[in-house]
Structure formats: structure tokens, C-alpha cells
């Protein structure tokens, strides 16, 4: 089971906790700042949504080559792969 959290909320909790305990010996601002840096580098838990018009399987008309069904350019699916403009 996945346990998703909001990155910014975690950073705020860390900051607030540090502000409450910063006067105690052994609690340093550098540790809190380092934790914040690590939290910011974590990947997003929300998957990227790729619209059909941006998918490499989009033929530009009205069908998807993968599911062989009619689609609109603004549709999306779990099998989408971002098109690279090479």
C-alpha cells in the first residue's frame, strides 16, 4: 500500500518542529536544512498524465495505435508514452 504525502507539508512540519526544538542542545539548523534539501529531491508520487496528442502512439487523426479505439486529442490512458520530437 502506498502512503503519499505532500512534499511541502512535510517541509513545513520539519520547519515547525525545528523552530520548537532549536534551543535544545544538539539540534542544529544545518540538520533541518539538509533534511529539507533531501525532501525536495524526492520524486513526485503523482504520475505524469500524458494526453493523447502528446503520446508517441497518437496518429494525429482519431485512433490510438495501442488500444485500437477512437480517442480525442485531450484523452489520456495508462499506456501513454511521451512523444520525443526528434
C-beta of residue 18 within 8 angstroms of C-beta of residue 32: yes
d(CA 8, CA 40): 8
Name the band, by pLDDT with cuts 50, 70 and 90, for residue 24: low
Q: What is the pTM of this model?
A: 0.48
For 85, list phi and psi in degrees, rounded to 5: -90, 75
Q: Give me the pLDDT at residue 1, please.
A: 47
Mean pLDDT taken over the chain:
78
Amino acid at each position: 500500500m502506498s502512503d503519499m504525502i505532500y512534499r511541502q507539508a512535510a517541509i513545513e512540519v520539519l520547519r515547525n518542529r525545528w523552530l520548537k526544538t532549536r534551543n535544545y542542545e544538539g539540534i542544529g539548523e544545518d540538520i533541518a536544512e539538509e533534511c529539507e534539501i533531501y525532501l525536495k529531491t524526492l520524486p513526485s508520487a503523482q504520475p505524469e498524465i500524458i494526453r493523447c496528442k502528446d503520446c508517441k502512439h497518437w496518429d494525429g487523426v482519431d485512433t490510438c495505435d495501442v488500444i485500437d479505439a477512437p480517442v480525442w486529442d485531450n484523452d489520456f490512458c495508462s499506456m501513454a508514452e511521451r512523444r520525443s520530437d526528434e
